[in-house]
Copies of this chain bind each other. A is one copy, B any other.
Amino acid sequence: VKHLYKLYYWPGIQGRGEFVRLALEDAGVPYLDVARQRGKGHGVSELHRLMRGRALTIPPFAPPFLGVGRLVIAQTANILHYLAPRHGLVPSAEAARLHAHQLQLTIADLATEGHDTHHPISSTLYYEEQQEEARRRAPLFRGVRLPLFLGYFERVLQRQGGRWLLGTRCSYVDLSMFQVLAWLDYAFPIAMKGLAPRIPRLLSLRKRVAARPRIAAYLASPRRLPFNEDDLFRHYPALDDR
């Protein structure tokens, strides 16, 4: 019996749920975006019920999580590691799957460090309450950590032949790389313009992913929410100056 995938993520932002959406969209797999639906068994209350209630013996700590029949699994990279081999989103050899997961977890680290530029003190405070510290963190992210991460991925891409991060076909890692590059460009346009000459392969990978028919259709659909200042990456000009 095939189950309809249920994706649980905060509505209103792309967030970490977007890594999962891009994978499902590219594979052409139908899914239900639970918190964006209304009615019983849907909406944000359903996320809270699964996280805080007694329904699950291993509840998720935080969204995104994926429901497959009675199985509910959390942690973005874990979800992708589960989905990918089932939908042709990763090469089948074990070494390639391990390397895909390794790269995905490194993308997750980059996303967290990027997020923390606007929340260096705590996720429990608003940006406005930690603006001063954010202005100290952001230049070190833009100037040191971001070039380190992107230089790494550019090097991997080069060694893989320059087209995809894992061999000869697009994998879920390429979709996630696209997402991070899109976010970075939104949040740090000045910094990214400065870095562009050093990451030609990544920028061309980004275009290649955006041009994939199902991804292009998704990006043009209302399912793709606009970037905004509640999301993981936010455009605060003060954090992208100089």
The answer for the CA separation of A56 and B105 in the assembled complex, in Å, is: 18
Binary CB contact string for chain A from 204 to 217 against chain B (1 if under 8 A, 0 otherwise): 00000000000000
- A112 proximity list for chain B (CB < 8 A): 112
Contact between chains at A124 and B95 (CB < 8 Å): no
Task: Tell me if A123 is interfacial: C-beta within 8 Å of chain B.
Answer: yes
The answer for the CA separation of A159 and B52 in the assembled complex, in Å, is: 12
Contact between chains at A145 and B123 (CB < 8 Å): yes
The A interface is mostly helix, strand or loop, or mixed, namely helix
Which residues of chain A in 109-160 are interfacial with respect to chain B, using CB atoms and an 8 Å cutoff? 109, 112, 116, 120-125, 133, 136-137, 140-141, 144-145, 149, 152, 155-156, 159-160
Task: Tell me if A32 is interfacial: C-beta within 8 Å of chain B.
Answer: no
Contact between chains at B123 and A59 (CB < 8 Å): no
- The listed residue with most B CB atoms (<10 A of its CB), out of A99, A123, A149, A155, is A99
Task: Tell me if A11 is interfacial: C-beta within 8 Å of chain B.
Answer: no
Given contacts A124-B144, A125-B140, A133-B120, contact A102 B156 (CB under 8 A): no
Binary CB contact string for chain A from 68 to 107 against chain B (1 if under 8 A, 0 otherwise): 0001011101100110000000000001001101110110
- A221 proximity list for chain B (CB < 8 A): none
- A225 proximity list for chain B (CB < 8 A): none
Contact between chains at A57 and B160 (CB < 8 Å): yes
A contact residues, total (Cβ < 8 Å):
45
Given contacts A120-B121, A121-B140, A140-B125, contact A102 B60 (CB under 8 A): yes
Task: Tell me if A58 is interfacial: C-beta within 8 Å of chain B.
Answer: yes
Known A-B contacts: A73-B102, A122-B137, A122-B145. Give 18 more (CB < 8 A). Answer: A58-B156, A59-B156, A60-B102, A61-B109, A61-B149, A71-B95, A75-B105, A77-B105, A78-B101, A78-B102, A82-B98, A112-B112, A120-B133, A120-B137, A121-B133, A122-B140, A123-B145, A124-B140
A-B contact pairs, 10 of them (CB 8 A): A57-B156, A58-B99, A58-B156, A58-B166, A59-B152, A59-B156, A112-B112, A120-B120, A120-B133, A125-B140
